[in-house]
Amino acid sequence: MKGLHNCLFLDRDGTINVEKHFIQDPDDLELIPGSAETIRNARELGMKVIVISNQSGVARGIMTEDDVHRVNRRLIELLDVEDAPVDAIYFCPHYSSDNTECLCRKPNTGLFEKARQEHGINLRQSIMVGDRLSDIEAGNRIGAATVLVLTGYGKTLQNNWDEKPEGIDIVAPSLYDSMTFIKEKVNEWKKSGKDVVEKSEN
């Protein structure tokens, strides 16, 4: 047994930065207002902040893995200027219509497991925020709390449902607007009186 960290898992495009459909040029990256502040606040609460992103444009031949790395470096630069660094960025470059050809493409959980092992994360005392149902399903699979943001594809998704799908803890207009929920969850875990521990499966 060992002490582990709470984590704020974030999708990238449409959650932290403006969705622009397969960003290849770092200069096209634009932060969504309030996203850096939320990351900074989460870190002040003692949370790790890790980005997990599907980047199927690589498999589709729209971009290269180097393009993704360059855009990610630009994201880190923009967040650092706001004193809002992230602990890691993981991405899946693969694509299959049924998500069966790799373990890392959300809603599969391979990248979350990698983050757990490399950064000492308690997945069940973490939060997943994204703008797609694949983000929510991934969060459900790891036992995390979930937030669907209406930036990116979230608003289109909301417009097409009759009622909120199961598995979404809250719907928030943006990452910034999820901060109250994030604080409440951290306080809830603290008040539970239990150490943030999880038995290693390694």
Catalytic residues: 11, 13
Phi/psi of residue 137, nearest 5 degrees: -65, -40
Share in percent of the chain as helix, strand, coil (round to 5):
35, 20, 45
CA-closest candidate to residue 51, choices 80, 84, 20, 11: 11
Q: How far is CA 178 from the centre of its chain?
A: 13
Dihedral angle computed from the Cα positions of residues 140, 73, 4 and 191, in that order, rounded to the nearest 10 degrees = -70
